[in-house]
Amino acid sequence: MTDSPAPAGVFISFEGGDGAGKSTQVRRLADWFAARGREVVVTFEPGDTALGAQLRTLVQHGEDLDPRTEALLFAADRAHHVTTVIRPALARGAVVITDRYLDSSVAYQGSGRALGAEEVERLSLWATQGLLPALTVLLDLDPVIGAQRITRSLDRIERAGDEFHRAVRDAFLARAGVDETERWLVLDATRTPDELHGAITARVEQILAVASAAGSGADDDAPRDAVVVEHTEVRP
C-alpha cells in the first residue's frame, strides 16, 4: 500500500483597511486548516522576515517617504517574503495564509498615494514573479469605523487621512469587482466573527473540492501543483 500523496499547497491572502479584523479571521482559518491535519504557515506583510522587519520599521515609523520609494520598499519586502517564506512553504504542500499581499500595494500605493493601480500591479507582479493567491478575502469596512477600532497610536500610513483611506477602500472594491480569476471573496467586515469565518470556510471548501477533483486523475506519486494563480503576463 502506498502512502497518500502530500497535499497541494494552498495560498490565501486577506486584505482590507486598517481595523477590519483581518488578523482574527487569519487565526481562525489557520486553526480550521490545522484541525484538518494541514501544515499552516501564517504570515503577513510588511515585515515577516528579518529583512522585512527592518523595511516595516522604515515604512511605518521612519521619515516621510516619497510614494515611489514607499512602493519600492513594500515590493522589496514582498519579493523577499515570496522567495524565502511563501514559495518554499507551498512547495512542501503547506497552506500559506498571509495578512496582506500585493493587493495592498495596488490599493494603498496605487490609489491612496495615486501612483496608478496598473503600474503598481506591474511592479508587484514583477517582484513576486507572478504569484497570486487562489483566494483573496477582502474584509470591507468603512474607514471611519476602521479608525475607531484602532486603539493604539497610529502609524505613518494610518495617519494619511480620510480621503486616502476612502481611496484605498474604493480601490480594493474596484479591484475585486473586475477580477477575472474569481479569486476574491468580498465580505462586510461588520458581520460577526462567526459569520465571517463561516463564509470564508465555505468558500475554501469549494476551492479545495475543485482542486481535489482536478488532481484526482493524476499520478498519485507526482508532486501536486500548489493551489495558486500564476499570473503569466508579467512585464517588468
Residues that bind ligand TYD (CB under 6 A): 18, 44-46, 60, 74, 100, 104-105, 108-109, 155, 157-158
Name the residue nearer to ligand TYD (CB basis): 34 or 150. 150
Q: Residue 18 Cβ, how far from ligand TYD at the closest point, in Å?
A: 5
Q: How far apart are CA 49 and CA 68, in angstroms?
A: 22
The identity of residue 57, as a single letter, is: T
**Pick 118 or 205: Cβ nearer ligand TYD:** 118
Single-letter amino acid code for the residue at 222? A
Q: Which residue is nearest to ligand TYD (CB)?
A: 108
Taken in order 25, 169, 147, 120, is the CA torsion positive or negative? positive
Backbone angles phi, psi at 112, to 5 degrees: -55, -50
Beta carbon of residue 203, minimum distance to ligand TYD (angstroms, whole number): 22
Shorter beta-carbon distance to ligand TYD: residue 165 or 197: 165
**Cα–chain-centroid distance for residue 27?**
14
Measured from the CB of residue 90, what is the shortest distance to ligand TYD in angstroms?
A: 19
Of 68, 152, 60, nearest in space to 109 by CA: 68
**Among candidate residues 135, 83, 75, 82, the one with its CA nearest the CA of residue 104:** 75
User: Least distance (Å) from ligand TYD to the CB of residue 17?
Assistant: 8
Q: Closer CB to ligand TYD, residue 45 or residue 140?
A: 45
User: Judged by CB, which is closer to ligand TYD: 78, or 87?
Assistant: 78
